[in-house]
Amino acid sequence: MTDVEQDLSAGVGFIDGEFYPTSDVRISISDLGFLMSDCTHDAAHVWKGSFFRLDDHIDRFERSLARLNMNLPYNRAETVDIVIECVRRSGLRDSLVYLIATRGIPSDRRRDLRTCTNRFIAVAYPFLWYVQPEQMETGAQVVISSTVRIPPESVDPRIKNFNRLDFSRALFEAYDRGSEHPLLTDFEGNITEGRGFNVFALFGGKLVSPEKGVLDGMTRRTVMELCAETNIKAELANIKPDDLRSAEEVFLTSTAGGVMPVTKVDDELIGNGSPGLLTLRLKDLYWALHDNPKYATPIAYD
Amino acid sequence: MTDVEQDLSAGVGFIDGEFYPTSDVRISISDLGFLMSDCTHDAAHVWKGSFFRLDDHIDRFERSLARLNMNLPYNRAETVDIVIECVRRSGLRDSLVYLIATRGIPSDRRRDLRTCTNRFIAVAYPFLWYVQPEQMETGAQVVISSTVRIPPESVDPRIKNFNRLDFSRALFEAYDRGSEHPLLTDFEGNITEGRGFNVFALFGGKLVSPEKGVLDGMTRRTVMELCAETNIKAELANIKPDDLRSAEEVFLTSTAGGVMPVTKVDDELIGNGSPGLLTLRLKDLYWALHDNPKYATPIAYD
């Protein structure tokens, strides 16, 4: 088995009232969640047996649902129970957990979205890091893509969504340039985000993360809160490619990996080419925060 | 059973080497065709027991695959055989047939697209009309949406794709305005397309269909060819909302319904409020073309 086949058999998912090994969680191809990617999701994680900021993830998920005119077949408490049960059954102590809502199958032949019963899916995968393990030490290389991020006028990026063909195009462009991590710009040439992660850059002692056209990432939010608590200057603002390439430090944030150092943007080394001191400090603070009971929802494994 | 439940049990689909009733065709939620809508499709149709322009649909599907760096696990002849077999097994004489290619499941935890084996799915649904049957007689109402179509700089619209959250947003806006058929504009304010259909408008005796930011629809192409053969002036060019609202005739084109008259754009009646004469003529020519053996691939039903 490949690593991923092992992962899929290790995880547990829920769909249509039943729990399955993740490898057996399948959705009807007639669900508009597939046929028009009319769905939203949230990605939370479990670390050392506890969810991190689960309530905040559910809050954001509910905001996405409202923005899509969707309703789940379960109330909030039931939804939380299902999500926790996926992790409990999997036995995974470190897990990346997806909550997914799809439009469902219309009962009308012309696919009237109002005739759909929305579907809820949850899946617990083994935890994954968006950058390679060695890149957590050496820093990842990102490239600034020529593909423009799907703009907010088309799809609201605050609705965490799977309309990601822009990233697919950008990924192949990045592979050709020796990177696995493209960052997309908007039509004004501002940096936005990558597939599943936000970006931060340090300029003159102040951290900046793109303000517009991006997901309000949970790890991004956590980093902003950590900065506020520790008197590190940080703000949401526009970043141009030239600025990013000449930043003092750069890092990515994602539930799939936390705070991840970047040491090269396009062909430019960042700082001295090693992960920055502030990056490493925030990474430590981020993981230390997992011990704070305020953010933890422990799983009652068997 | 609802109409759609009947449709799903009447159809036949193919996935992972097996044929199933359409209601049982399911895809792993770990396929990036779902998790990032990294997939393409083509929609062909069978009318009175024969495919219409099947070769042209396969040609376009292969162009989409190439643009996405995808390869099917079957060669062209095998792919055609599978598609025909879905229809043959279903017994459907009038069918809307989807060919779908998904990125597949990566064998790499960081979801490197290059590690995926692409998946091929085919499904034969009962034929469906994108507008209601009575609207084929009276004409449909379209509304021009405030949602901007996902731009070509983000996703190439010639790759027939399911990144359709822009349409989802526009549909709810349209429902509120009493229509089921939103047309989206681009950032320059030009009309583009609707969910699964192109649009034509008649101005001073000349037909115009949007040139940029749209799918090269098979029915649109057929209409352009019919115009060339019958000396009807037609061109691909930009159309502004004000122009569309004051057009002499308007119609939609889609494999799911052919040539479909529009008699109202926003609150403006088109022409005298009845389907236009040229629209009806092209509709007749379109369906008559189905008897031309050049375009027909008959199914050998049992």
Q: Would you place residue B7 in the very low, low, confident or very high pLDDT band (cuts 50, 70, 90)? A: confident
Which residues, in sequence order, are CB contacts of B7 under 8 Å at separation 6+?
Answer: A109, B22, B125, B126, B128
Of B14, B159, B126, nearest to B79 by C-alpha is B14
User: Cβ contacts (< 8 Å) between A29 and chain B: which residues?
Assistant: 13, 15, 25-27, 100, 121, 123
Buried b / exposed e over B238-266, threshold 16 CB at 10 Å, is bbebeebbebbbbbbbbbbbbbbbbbbbe
- Flag if A155 and B132 touch (Cβ within 8 Å): no
Are both A139 and A273 inside the same structural domain?
A: yes
Q: What percent of chain A has pLDDT over 70?
A: 100
Query: Which CATH number covers residue B140?
Result: 3.20.10.10
Q: Give the domain CATH number at B57.
A: 3.30.470.10
A180 Cβ under 8 Å from any chain B Cβ: yes
- Predicted ipTM > 0.90: yes
Token pair for A199:
């970006």
| Structural domain harbouring B197 | 133-290
Percentage of residues of chain B with pLDDT beyond 70: 100
Residue B8 has a pLDDT of 74
Claim to verify: residue B157 and residue B263 sit in the same structural domain: yes
Q: Is the pLDDT of residue A3 over 80?
A: no
Total domain count for chain A? 2
B186 shares its domain with B88: no
**pLDDT for A4:** 75
pTM of the model: 0.96
- Residue A9's pLDDT is 79
pLDDT digits (tens, 9 = 90+) for B209-228: 999 999 999 999 999 999 99
My answer on whether B149 and B279 are in the same domain is yes
Say yes or no: A191 and A238 in one domain: yes
Helix (H) or strand (E) holding A13: strand A12-15
CB A259 within 8 A of CB A277: no
pLDDT band at B113 (very low <50, low <70, confident <90, very high): very high
Note which residues in 5-24 of chain A have CB less than 8 A from chain B: 5, 7-8, 13, 15, 22-23
H-run or E-run covering A226: helix A218-229
Tens digits of residue pLDDT in A15-62: 999 999 999 999 999 999 999 999 999 999 999 999 999 999 999 999
A110 with B130: Cβ contact below 8 A: yes
Q: Which residue has the tokens 């007689």?
A: B137
Q: Which of A8, A15, A148 sits opposite B154 (nearest CB)?
A: A148
Residue A301 lies in a domain: no
Q: Residue A36 domain-assigned? A: yes
Coil vs helix vs strand at B46: strand
What is the spatial distance between Cα A43 and Cα A99, in angstroms, rounded to a whole number?
Answer: 6
In angstroms and rounded to an integer, the radius of gyration of the C-alpha atoms of chain B is: 19
Distance from B5 to chain A by nearest Cα, in Å?
Answer: 7
- 3-class secondary structure, A238: coil
Residue B302 has pLDDT above 80, yes or no: yes
Domain stop point among B79, B110, B126 = B126
As a whole number, mean pLDDT of residues B162-170 equals 98
Euclidean distance between CA atoms A128 and A126, whole angstroms: 6
Is B72 within 8 Å of chain A by CB?
no
In terms of phi and psi (left: phi > 0; alpha: psi -120 to 50; beta: otherwise), the region of B273 is left
Residues B256 and B117 in one domain: no
Looking at the DSSP assignment, which residues form a beta bridge with residue B52? B45, B296
Instruction: List pLDDT tens digits, range B220-278.
Output: 999 999 999 999 999 999 999 999 999 999 999 999 999 999 999 999 999 999 999 99
Residue B251 CA: distances (Å) to CA of B136, B182, B199, B278? 10, 13, 6, 10
